[in-house]
Amino acid sequence: MAARAINGVFTIGHPNMDWLFKFPQLDPDVLLTVKRAIDGSLRALTRDYGDAIENFFYPLQRVLIFFEAVITGAPWPLIVLALAAIAWFAARKWSVVAAVVGTLIAIGLIGLWQDAMKTISLVFTATIFSIAIGIPLGILMNRNRRVGGVMQTVLDVMQTMPPFVYLIPVVMLLGIGRVPGFIAVVIYAIPPIIRLTDLGIRLVDKEVLEAADAYGCSRGQKLWKVQMPLAMPTIMAGINQTIMMALGMVVIASMIGVQGLGLNVLQAIANQYFTQGIFNGFAIVGIAIIFDRISQAYGHRLQKHRGAAHE
């Protein structure tokens, strides 16, 4: 009402003020042409290079299948033992080991063992890839200011772009299956490890760096003997975040063919199976807690000797 009244006032006074209230958008024909051109070229790309791209990612697919086969194929007591051992070596605390074993048994008891293993294998491989790509990128970002600026923007886009949007080209290029799901998870989960590697290196005490320079460290020596070890607790926090985000992505990734707990949740949504949703949801939470406790305890252990120096 009010808007129309104001509009009325303006139009009455100045019949040609219409342009003020209607944003001057591009001609619809032009917009249509642009959209068609982009979609068309992407389709052409898919048509012409689809096979090449799929071949390029074939080794990745083999790796994913291999890990999934190993983890889902292994006898369950072995998996429980292995995760308990990892928990012990990372945390050195029986409470953490007990929590890990308890959670795994609970997941098994509610009949979700196979699906949970599929999810763990995906999150595990996605995390390893994210670390392998993310840490060097974080170092690069820290070293080169210009690269850092560009990367900052790219990371902002990656973190705010709704995943569904970049799922579209990924699916167009690679179809549905493990590899596109994996790529979507990595895109979603990699920003924290890159950012926190950069941050960790930046937070290293200035006087320690000065000492490294004063004793004649080369850039490489400074990085590996001083900066990386001291940035490690922060980098561990980044790894922790990356794992959590990868887990958070499994439901969305299930929409493009990733199997595991996420797919069950998706089915539960579609069919309104409340209990199935809750069970799978809790299994995801349980896995998240396992990974979180292990990586955090390891981070804490790294930090033991790094508190502020005595005055």
Partner 1 sequence: MDTGCRSIGVQRMNKGDASIEIRDLYKIFGGSPRQYVQAVRDGLSKAELGKVHGHILGLNNINISMPAGKIQVVMGLSGSGKSTLIRHINRLIEPTSGSIIIDGRNILEMSEVELREFRRNQTAMVFQRFGLLPHRTVIDNVTFGLEVRGIEASKCRQIAMRWIDRVGLIGFEHRYPNELSGGMQQRVGLARALSNDASILLMDEAYSALDPLIRTDMQTMLLELQAELKKTIVFITHDLDEALRLGDRIVILRDGSIIQQGDSQDILLRPADDYIERFVKDVNRARFIRIDAVMDRAPCSEKASLPRLKSGTTLEVAAKELTNSTYDQAVVVDGSSEPLGLVSLRQITAALSSPAETKSSA
Give the binding site for partner 1 (CB under 8 A): 207-208, 210-211, 213-218, 221, 225-226, 229-230, 232, 305-311
Give the span between the Cα atoms of 236 and 200, in whole angstroms.
Answer: 10
Task: Report in angstroms how near the CB of residue 61 gets to partner 1 at its nearest.
Answer: 39
Beta carbon nearer to partner 1, 145 or 310: 310
Beta carbon nearer to partner 1, 91 or 231: 231
Please state, as a whole number, how many other Cβ atoms lie within 10 Å of the Cβ of residue 125: 22
Beta carbon nearer to partner 1, 3 or 214: 214
Q: At what angle do helices 274-303 and 94-109 cross, to 10 degrees?
A: 160
User: Which amino acid is present at 48?
Assistant: D
The pair of three-digit structure tokens given for residue 259, joined into one six-digit string: 């199997």
Give the span between the Cα atoms of 74 and 158, in whole angstroms.
Answer: 35
Task: Report in angstroms how near the CB of residue 136 gets to partner 1 at its nearest.
Answer: 21
Task: Report in angstroms how near the CB of residue 140 gets to partner 1 at its nearest.
Answer: 21
Beta carbon nearer to partner 1, 4 or 310: 310
Beta carbon nearer to partner 1, 51 or 213: 213
Task: Report in angstroms how near the CB of residue 302 gets to partner 1 at its nearest.
Answer: 8
| Strand, helix or coil for residue 24 | coil
Task: Report in angstroms how near the CB of residue 292 gets to partner 1 at its nearest.
Answer: 24
HSE toward the beta carbon, residue 130, CA cutoff 13 A: 33
Give the span between the Cα atoms of 256 and 175, in whole angstroms.
Answer: 8
User: Which amino acid is present at 50?
Assistant: G
The pair of three-digit structure tokens given for residue 24, joined into one six-digit string: 């001057």
